[in-house]
A and B are shown apart, each in its own frame.
Chain A
Amino acid sequence: EDQVTQSPEALRLQEGESSSLNCSYTVSGLRGLFWYRQDPGKGPEFLFTLYSAGEEKEKERLKATLTKKESFLHITAPKPEDSATYLCAVATGGGNKLTFGTGTQLKVEL
């Protein structure tokens, strides 16, 4: 059974304090690893897709990396507007069904 584990469950940072969120996975045949951002009361917002170990993608203050067992979402010099829950998901098999982790709730304070 595909499993996705995210850590930490919650993270509190000061503005400008860089950190990383972890997503470890156990799957049979990875067809893609996805990062989403979710604000309270809203649907997940797509951030990145990574397909193979060694791949990296960046968007503003966020950078996602992938190894054979885990992915990291690095947040550089975060701002309060980066506060949200960050979800990691994997696509396996036919590649269409996403299995999500429980998310990391990030709060960035002034």
Chain B
Amino acid sequence: GAGVSQTPSNKVTEKGKYVELRCDPISGHTALYWYRQSLGQGPEFLIYFQGTGAADDSGLPNDRFFAVRPEGSVSTLKIQRTERGDSAVYLCASSSYVNNEQFFGPGTRLTVL
């Protein structure tokens, strides 16, 4: 079956602009996660959804970052007033309610100039 998909695969933007990153989880997976990975580092947790609600957003670095999952499937990560330090690969993962085995998408590489 289809895995987790993310669009776009690459996004280049200018400092101060607004960006949206999309994640389409594995069909039937109720949990969805966003992580951020910088070069040479492991993924860093941002936010976790169970269904439509954000169950844990403790990893969002500041109020410029926001994520939604209005229908309990597709999720969008929104970043306002982008800064050069936001440049990273943004990874999305999903898991079923049965266990916490998280399956990752290919990521969106965000570059802020």
Contact = CB atoms under 8 A, between A and B. Distances in A.
Interface of A: 4, 31-32, 34, 36, 41-46, 49, 87, 89, 91, 94-103
Nearest to A44: B104
B105 interface: yes
27 contacts: A4-B42, A36-B104, A43-B93, A43-B104, A43-B105, A43-B106, A44-B43, A44-B104, A46-B101, A46-B102, A46-B103, A46-B104, A49-B99, A89-B42, A96-B33, A96-B100, A97-B33, A97-B45, A97-B56, A98-B43, A98-B45, A98-B100, A98-B102, A99-B45, A100-B42, A100-B44, A103-B42
A103 to B, nearest CB: 6
A100 B59 contact: no
Nearest to A32: B100
Contacts of A95: 100
B48 to A, nearest CB: 5
Nearest to A95: B100
Interface residues on B, range: 20 to 34
Nearest to A88: B42
B21 interface: no
B64 to A, nearest CB: 21
B43 A96 contact: no
Given A46-B103, A91-B100, 17 more contacts: A32-B100, A43-B104, A43-B105, A44-B91, A44-B104, A49-B101, A89-B43, A96-B31, A96-B50, A96-B55, A96-B56, A97-B48, A98-B35, A98-B102, A100-B42, A102-B42, A103-B42
Q: Give the one of A43, A91, A101 with max B CB within 10 A.
A: A43
B40 interface: yes
A49 B102 CA distance: 10
Contacts of A98: 33, 35, 43, 45, 100, 102
A98 to B, nearest CB: 6
Q: Give the one of A36, A91, A97, A100 with max B CB within 10 A.
A: A97
A97 B105 CA distance: 16
